Amino acid sequence: MIAEAGHYALVLALGLAIVQSIVPMLGARWRDSGLMNVARSSALAQLLFVTLSFGALTMLHVTSDFSVVNVFENSHSLKPLLYKITGVWGNHEGSMLLWVLILALFGAMVAAFGNNLPLSLRARVLAVQGWIAAAFYFFILATSNPFLRIVSPPIEGRDLNPILQDIGLAIHPPMLYLGYVGFSISFSFAVAALIEGRIDAAWARWVRPWTLMAWVFLTLGIAMGSYWAYYELGWGGWWFWDPVENASLMPWLSGTALLHSAVVMEKRNALKVWTILLAIVTFSLSLLGTFLVRSGVLTSVHTFASDPSRGVFILLILCLFIGGSLALYAWRAPSLRQGGLFAPISREGALVLNNLFLTTACVTVLVGTLYPLGLEVLTGDKISVGAPFFNLTFGPLFVPLLIAVPFGPLLAWKRGDLLAAAQRLFAAGVAALMAVALVWAWVKGGPVLAPLAIGLAVFVIVAAISELAERIGLLRVPFRTAMHRAAGLPRSNWGTAFAHAGLGVALIGIVCETTWNSERIASMKPNDTAAIASYSVRLDSLVQRQGPNYREQIAQFVVSRDGQVVGTMSPSKRNFATRGMSTTEAALLTRGASQLYISLGEAGADGAIAVRIYYKPLVLLIWFGPMLMAFGGLLSLSDRRLRVGAPKPARAPHDLQPAE
Amino acid sequence: MTRKQRRLTMIGGALAVLAIAAALVLNALRDSIVFFTTPAVAAEKQIPPGKRFRLGGLVEQGSLTRGDNLAVSFKVTDGTATLPVTYKGILPDLFREGQGIISEGALDASGVFRADTVLAKHDENYMPKEVADALKKQGHWKDDYGAKPGAAK
C-alpha cells in the first residue's frame, strides 16, 4: 500500500512538473499574471508530492518490506536503523529519487523566496526547472522505479553494500546532490534570461546567492567524499582522480568560475554573455557527472547497477538539455547588450584571469576523464588515465592561479595598479620566502618543489589575512577603531578572505601529505612492534566480535612516543555474510592536524596479520581547507547586501522584448 | 587603450593559456597513460620489459603462493595464455583464486609481471569491466563468473 502510494505521488509530481513546464511559459508570453502564478503553486505542490514519495520509500526501508524489489536488494532486517534510512539513497533508484527531491526543493525555494523577482522571470525560471524535473521523473518512472513489487516476497533482504554502511553515506550524497542540483537554479535563470532576452546586473544579484549556496554544498560534499574514501577504503588515499571524482570536480571548477564572474556582472555589468555560458556549462557538467556515475559507463563503488537502457535515457536527457541550452545560447546571446569597459589590469581583469585558469583546468580534467571512453569507442584500446596525467596538467595550471589569487581583491575596479597591489603584498611575500627557507632548512634538502609549494600556500593565506588587516586599518589606527571597522566590514569581504585562505590551508595539507607521508607494511603477531615516524606501534591482541550484520576481527594496537603511551587504535576487518564481502575499517589516531592510520590485511596461517601503517603529517588540513572555503561562502551568503535593498531591474517591465 | 586593443589583449591572453594547457595535455597523454591488456595480448604484442601496463584476467586456480614479508606470486590467465605475477604488499579484501583482477606494473627481464597495484572486484556482482569484456571477446566468459558469491577457495 505504501509502495503504491509512493509510486502514485511520483506520477502526480510528474503531472505537476509538466504543468509547471508549460503554463507559466505561456503566461509569461501572454503577460497573464494568473498563468504565471501557476509556477509558484505547482512548484510548491511538486515538492509536497516528491517528499511524500521519498517518505514512502524511506518508510519501506525502515520497516524492511522485502516485497519491494528495491528494499529486498539493498536492505537487511538486522541492519542498524541509520543504515536503513541512508540505504534509501545507497542504490540507483533511491539516489535518483533523492536527486529529484532536491531538485523540487530548490524549485520550491525559488517559488517561496523569490518574491522580489519580476513575475515573468520567476515564471520562466520555474518553468525551466519544470522541464528538468519532468525529464527526471520520466526517467525514474520509465527505467528506475523504486516501488516495484516482487510476486513472492522473500523473508530476508540482500543487504546494502557493506562499503556504504557508514555514516559517510548519510552526509556525502545529500551534500553533493545539493551542490550538483543547486546549479540547476543558475541554469534555469540563464535559460530564462536568454528566453527573455534581457539581462542586467540585477540578474546577477538574484543568481549569485543560489550559485553560492550550491557551491558551498558541493565544496563540502566533495571534501566529505574524499575523507570517506580516505578512511573507508583502507589504503590511505584521499583523491584518486577516479572518473567519478572528476565528475564532481568539474562542476566545482566551473561553478567557482561562475561565482567569480557573477561578481563582475553584478558590480560592473560586464561579462554578461560569459556568465550566462558558465551557468549553462556548470549545470551541464553536473548532468554529465550524473550520466557518468549512473549510466554504468564506468565501474566504481558509485555505480550501483548498470542497465543499458538507463544509460541511453540519461544520455538523451543530457543531449536534450545541453544541446538545447547551447543552441538557445548561440541564437540569443549575440543580442545581449555588452556591458562596462575595463582595463586588463583591474579587479575585473583579475577575475577574468581566474575564470580563464579555472575553466582551462576544468577542460583538462574533462579531457582526462572522457579520453579513455572515447578511445575505447573509437579504437577498442583500453587505457587508464591516472594521477600522473592530472599532476602534469592540472597542477601547472593551478600554480599561476594561486599566485594571482591574492592580487585580485587588492586591485581596483575598472583600472587597477599592479605595483601598488604588489607593494601591499610585501608582507605576504616576505612570509612566503621565510616559510620556504624554514621548510627547506628543516627537511634539509629533499624535494625542491615541496617547500616552494608551501611558500605559495603561506603567501595565499598571509595575503588573505593582510588584506583584511589593511581594510580595517589594523596597526595604523587605534586598535578599538580597527575592531569597530572590522565589525562593520561587509560579510562578503570576510567570506572572500576565508575562502582564499582555505585554498592555502588545503594546499599545505596536500603538499605535506604527499611529500612526507610514511608507510610501513608488515606482518605482525601479538606483541610485535613497528616503528613509524617518531611513533612506535605495538600489536596488543587480536579479538573476534559479532556485530549486528557482520563478524569482525579487531586488532588492538598501543601507540607510544618516546616511551610514553599516547593512545590505542583498533582497526578491524568486517565480514558480511549476506553479501560474502569483507570491508576494512581503518583506525585513525589524530595528533594535532596529523594522523596515524592503521588498516588490516589478511590474517596468515601462523597467527600473524598483515598490517598497513601510515603516518600522514598535517593531513587534516586537506579537509580543513574546503571547510574554511565553505565557511567563507556561508559568510558571504549571509551578507545583508545580498538580501536587502532588493535590486531593481535596469529597465521598466513594459520593455520585455529581446534587445535586438 | 581602445576597446579593440583591450579585447585583443584578453583574447591573446586566453589563447596563450589554452595553448599552454593543450601542450600540457598532449605531453601528459604521451607519457602517462597506461594500456590494458590480457596475458594473450601481452604475449602477442611482445611488450618490452619496463613498459608499464595494466594486466587483467582471472587468478589461476592453485597458483597463489605466499612468500616471506608479504611477498605473493600468482598467475593470471585469460583462458588462452597465462602470465606469472609477483606483488609485495597487502592484497585487496576480495582477492581470491578464480576471480577477476586487474594489476598494474611492468614485466621484468625474465618475463615476470611485477605488479605494484592489484585491484579486485568490489562485491560479488562485480567483475572488473575490462576483464569481463576481454573474456567475452575471447569466448571464455561464463555467466556464473559474476554471480558466484565467494567462489573458489
d(CA B150, CA B153): 8
Report whether A261 contacts A274 (CB < 8 A).
yes
Q: Which of B18, B32, B54, B64 is the mutation pick for testing A, counting most A CBs within 10 A?
A: B32
Cell of A214: 550550491
- Complex ipTM value: 0.77
- The total number of structural domains in chain A stands at 4
Q: Which amino acid is at A369?
A: T
pLDDT tens digits along B43-54? 888 888 888 888
Tell me if A384 and B33 make a contact (CB, 8 A cut-off). Answer: yes
Tell me if A161 and B123 make a contact (CB, 8 A cut-off). Answer: yes
Enumerate the residues of chain B whose CB falls inside 8 A of the CB of residue A612: 90
* Residue appearing with cell numbers 572518473: A243
CA distance to partner chain B, nearest, from residue A609 (Å):
10
Enumerate the residues of chain B whose CB falls inside 8 A of the CB of residue A610: 70, 90
Q: Which of A235, A244, A348, A360 is the mutation pick for testing B, counting most B CBs within 10 A?
A: A360
Q: Among partner residues B13, B70, B150, which is closest to A610 by beta-carbon distance?
A: B70
Identify each DSSP E strand in B61-99 by its residue range.
65-66, 71-77, 82-88
Do residue A565 and residue A470 come from a single domain?
no
Q: How far from chain centre, in Å, is Cα A188?
A: 19
Tell me if A299 and B94 make a contact (CB, 8 A cut-off). Answer: no
SS3 A538: strand
Do residue A500 and residue A580 come from a single domain?
no
d(CA A655, CA A647): 17
pLDDT tens digits along A130-145? 999 999 999 999 988 9
* Beta strand pairing call for B33-37 and B52-59: parallel
**How many CB pairs (< 8 A) connect A and B?**
112
d(CA A542, CA A602): 13
Residue bearing the bigger pLDDT, A287 or B31: A287
From the list A641, A644, A611, the residue with the least C-alpha distance to A538 is A611
Q: Among partner residues B28, B93, B104, which is closest to A582 by beta-carbon distance?
A: B93
Q: Which of A73, A268, A274, A356 is the mutation pick for testing B, counting most B CBs within 10 A?
A: A356
Tell me if A573 and B18 make a contact (CB, 8 A cut-off). Answer: no
CA distance to partner chain A, nearest, from residue B70 (Å):
7
Report whether B81 contacts B43 (CB < 8 A).
yes
Do residue A107 and residue A73 come from a single domain?
yes
d(CA B102, CA A650): 60
d(CA A219, CA A227): 12
Do residue A532 and residue A508 come from a single domain?
no
Do residue A143 and residue A40 come from a single domain?
yes
**Per-residue buried b or exposed e for A498-534, using 16+ beta carbons within 10 Å of the residue's own CB:** bbbbbbbbbbbbbbbbbbbbeebbbbbeeeeebebbe
Give me the half-sphere count of Cα atoms (radius 13 Å) on the Cβ side of residue A452.
6
Report whether A188 contacts A117 (CB < 8 A).
no
Q: Which helix (H) or strand (E) holds A12?
A: helix A2-30
Domain that holds residue A478: 402-515
In a domain, A41, yes or no: yes
Identify each DSSP E strand in B31-144 by its residue range.
33-37, 52-59, 65-66, 71-77, 82-88, 100-107, 113-120
Q: Which helix (H) or strand (E) holds A566?
A: strand A564-569
d(CA A98, CA A447): 46
Q: How far from chain centre, in Å, is Cα A278?
A: 17
Report whether B145 contacts B127 (CB < 8 A).
yes
**Per-residue buried b or exposed e for A476-490, using 16+ beta carbons within 10 Å of the residue's own CB:** eeeeeebeeebeeee
CA distance to partner chain A, nearest, from residue B110 (Å):
25
Do residue A408 and residue A357 come from a single domain?
no
CA distance to partner chain B, nearest, from residue A338 (Å):
12
Domains of chain B: 1-33 (no CATH), 35-147 (2.40.50.140)
Tell me if A382 and B24 make a contact (CB, 8 A cut-off). Answer: no
Tell me if B33 and A385 make a contact (CB, 8 A cut-off). Answer: yes
From the list A185, A4, A179, A6, the residue with the least C-alpha distance to A88 is A6
- Those residues of chain A that have pLDDT short of 70 are 296-308, 338-339, 445, 641-660
Enumerate the residues of chain B whose CB falls inside 8 A of the CB of residue A601: 70, 90-91
Do residue A410 and residue A540 come from a single domain?
no
Helices and strands per DSSP (H, E), number in chain B: 4, 7
Report whether A251 contacts A218 (CB < 8 A).
yes
Do residue A198 and residue A221 come from a single domain?
yes
pLDDT tens digits along A324-356? 999 999 998 888 776 677 888 888 889 999 999
CA distance to partner chain B, nearest, from residue A442 (Å):
31
Enumerate the residues of chain B whose CB falls inside 8 A of the CB of residue A382: 35-36, 54, 130, 133
* Residue appearing with cell numbers 550550491: A214
Report whether A87 contacts A549 (CB < 8 A).
no
Tell me if B66 and A604 make a contact (CB, 8 A cut-off). Answer: yes
Tell me if A389 and B33 make a contact (CB, 8 A cut-off). Answer: yes
Cβ neighbours of residue A118 under 8 Å, at least 6 residues apart? A649, A653
In a domain, A650, yes or no: no
Enumerate the residues of chain A whose CB falls inside 8 A of the CB of residue B20: 396-397
Locate the chain B residue with the closest alpha carbon to A578. Answer: B149
Q: Which helix (H) or strand (E) holds B52?
A: strand B52-59
SS3 B88: strand
Do residue A76 and residue A6 come from a single domain?
yes
Cell of A230: 580516505
Do residue A419 and residue A488 come from a single domain?
yes
Do residue A109 and residue A15 come from a single domain?
yes
User: Chain B residues with CB-CB distance to A under 8 A?
Assistant: 1, 3, 6, 9-10, 13-14, 17-18, 20-21, 24-25, 27-29, 31-36, 54, 66, 69-70, 88-91, 93-94, 104, 122-126, 128-130, 133, 149-150
Locate the chain A residue with the closest alpha carbon to B68. Answer: A523
Enumerate the residues of chain B whose CB falls inside 8 A of the CB of residue A305: 125
- As a residue count, chain A comes to 660
d(CA A183, CA A290): 13
Q: What angle do CA A67, A73, A75 make, to 5 degrees?
A: 85
From the list A129, A263, A118, the residue with the least C-alpha distance to A198 is A118
Enumerate the residues of chain B whose CB falls inside 8 A of the CB of residue A367: 25
Q: Which amino acid is at B47?
A: I
d(CA A456, CA A444): 19
d(CA A548, CA A542): 20
Do residue A171 and residue A217 come from a single domain?
yes
Q: What angle do CA A299, A305, A306 make, to 5 degrees?
A: 70
In a domain, A655, yes or no: no
Enumerate the residues of chain B whose CB falls inside 8 A of the CB of residue A341: 3, 6
CA distance to partner chain B, nearest, from residue A373 (Å):
12
Enumerate the residues of chain B whose CB falls inside 8 A of the CB of residue A573: 93
Tell me if B33 and A356 make a contact (CB, 8 A cut-off). Answer: no
Helix locations, B63-148, DSSP H:
129-137, 144-147
Q: Among partner residues B24, B90, B93, which is closest to A521 by beta-carbon distance?
A: B90
In a domain, A648, yes or no: no
Locate the chain B residue with the closest alpha carbon to A521. Answer: B89
CA distance to partner chain B, nearest, from residue A191 (Å):
26
Locate the chain A residue with the closest alpha carbon to B9. Answer: A344
Q: What is residue B124's predicted lDDT score, i.e. its pLDDT?
A: 43
In a domain, A116, yes or no: yes
* Beta strand pairing call for A551-561 and B71-77: unpaired
Q: What is residue A594's predicted lDDT score, i.e. its pLDDT?
A: 93
- As a residue count, chain B comes to 153
Cell of A423: 607593494
Q: Which of B68, B70, B87 is the mutation pick for testing A, counting most A CBs within 10 A?
A: B70
Q: Among partner residues B17, B29, B66, which is closest to A389 by beta-carbon distance?
A: B29
Locate the chain B residue with the closest alpha carbon to A611. Answer: B90
Tell me if B90 and A388 make a contact (CB, 8 A cut-off). Answer: no
Cell of A642: 545580498
Mark residue A404 as left, alpha or beta (left: phi above 0; alpha: psi -120 to 50; beta: remaining). alpha
d(CA B126, CA B146): 6
* Residue appearing with cell numbers 533511491: A94
Domain boundary among A130, A164, A198: A164
Cβ neighbour number for residue A590 with a 10 Å cutoff: 11
Residue B136 has pLDDT above 70, yes or no: no
Q: In DSSP terms, which residues pair with A542 in a beta bridge?
A: A555
Q: Among partner residues A393, A397, A521, which is closest to B70 by beta-carbon distance?
A: A521
DSSP A119-178: HHHHHHHHHHHHHHHHHHHHHHHHH--TTPBPSS--SS-----GGG-STHHHHHHHHHHH
In a domain, A209, yes or no: yes
For the entire predicted model, the pTM comes to 0.90
For B43, list phi and psi in degrees, rounded to 5: -65, -40
Enumerate the residues of chain A whose CB falls inside 8 A of the CB of residue B13: 344, 353, 356
From the list B91, B124, B145, the residue with the least C-alpha distance to A581 is B124
